[in-house]
Chains A and B, each alone.
Chain A
């Protein structure tokens, strides 16, 4: 599986936008970029995924670089409930496994 690199931790103020970066320089053409988050004492929660184009849903936006070697998860207005570990995962077509790294621990400051 192609590897992703994320900062270990980030902090953001409540009600401000948050940009969570992910580098994946060895991404292949058939790798989808998936984001999950894990709140304390909970199972992972799907956030968003994309292939080449930027994506938006009710939870977040995903901005994908033109060369696909990096992506950014954008939370438009952080709340305290967004405090979690965020995982950026590459998943190849036909591969059913998710390979979780260490993720980014996001702290929201009231």
Chain B
């Protein structure tokens, strides 16, 4: 039973390029969450999605960031026109529907903007 799969593990982008981060939840999990961890800082919630729906995007920056979780395929976090301040580790987590148990996190994507 594979865990939460994130790819790529490391991503280098030049300023102004687009970054696409992918997350495949655990089998049977229908809830996906994205978190960001800036260097030397704690994890911050970004967005919570269910299949084809954004449930809570209160932690997403207002511009350049978007997320989706299509009916088929992984969840995608998209960052347009990246800037140096976007350099961070981005973690995805998943959980089954209707549970208050713990989330399963992926190993993260480390984005470096040069």
**B28 in the interface (beta carbon within 8 A):** no
Q: Which of A44, A49, A99, A102 contacts B105 (CB 8 A)?
A: A44
Nearest chain-B residue to A101 (Cβ)? Answer: B42
Decide if B42 touches A103 in the complex (CB within 8 Å): yes
Binary flags per residue of A9-50, CB closer than 8 Å to B gives 1, else 0: 000000000000000000000001010101000111111010
Q: Which of B4, B31, B45, B107 contacts A99 (CB 8 A)?
A: B45
**B62 in the interface (beta carbon within 8 A):** no
**B71 in the interface (beta carbon within 8 A):** no
Nearest chain-B residue to A44 (Cβ)? Answer: B105
Size bracket, chain A contacts = 20 to 34
Q: How near does chain B come to A23, taking the closest CB pair, in angstroms? A: 17
Decide if A44 touches B100 in the complex (CB within 8 Å): no
Could you tell me the distance between the alpha carbons of A99 and B46 in the complex, rounded to whole angstroms? 11
- Using a CB–CB cutoff of 8 Å, the interface residues on chain B facing chain A are 4, 31, 33, 35, 42-45, 48, 55-56, 59, 91, 93, 100-108
